[in-house]
Amino acid sequence: MEDLSLHILDIAENSVAAQADKIEIRISEDLDKDLLSIEIIDNGVGMDKEILEKALDPFYTSKTVRRFGFGLSLLSEAAKAANGHFSLQSKKGEGTRIRADFQHSHIDRQPLGDIGQTLITLIIGNPEIHFIFEHERNGDTSCLDTREIKAQLNELPINSLTGIKKLRENLKKSQKPPA
């Protein structure tokens, strides 16, 4: 994958397939510590111990439409290539938590990519899911919560033209660099 936002898209789509109705995506950038962290937390069906042990094997997948499951293993390798680490926690019936840490300045760290477009794609494609996006940069935090946006829209769907416009406005505000 070309950038980290595509990894986020892939993992979040796995969360959707795992019947999550709430997905949290957290990005933390701490330049003083030279650290970029990505965390994706869902309340989907989770994985039992047997599946969890196989989850990073690119030749294992629980999907029946293809025989390979590269998403988690690619993110894990991307983190390791950038002097970071990867962790995966999951419990059957409770959900999954994935965390990838990267040395922010590492030459092999993939760029973050267009996280705004990734979020819009996820949200308009899955309007029934509660998405929470939090991005922290050197102590300044911005947040996007689809429940708050839906409340502002009254009865209009979040994937309507008005909803998409509201999403873009909220993302633009949340992605402004700190003053």
Per-residue model confidence as pLDDT tens digits over 53-89: 766 655 555 544 443 346 788 899 999 999 999 999 9
Q: Got the DSSP string for 23-82?
A: EEEEEEEETTTTEEEEEEEE-S----HHHHHHTT-TT--S-SS-S--HHHHHHHHHHHHT
How is residue 144 written in tokens? 């996007």
pLDDT, tens digit, 9 for 90 and up, residues 90-114: 999 999 999 999 999 999 999 999 9
* Terminal Cα distance for the chain, rounded: 32
**What per-residue string of b and e applies to 161-179 under the rule 16 or more CB within 10 Å gives b?**
eebeebbeebbeebeeeee
pLDDT tens, residue by residue, 157-168: 999 999 999 999
Whether 22 has a pLDDT exceeding 70, the answer reads yes
Whole-angstrom CA distances from 115 to 60, 92, 119, 133 are 28, 29, 6, 10
Q: Would you kindly state where each structural domain of the chain is located, as residue ranges?
A: 4-141
29-43 tens-digit pLDDT: 999 999 999 999 999
What's the CATH number for 4-141? 3.30.565.10
Coil, helix or strand for 89? Answer: strand
How much is the pTM? 0.89
What is the C-alpha to C-alpha distance for residues 167 and 134, in angstroms, rounded to an integer?
Answer: 14
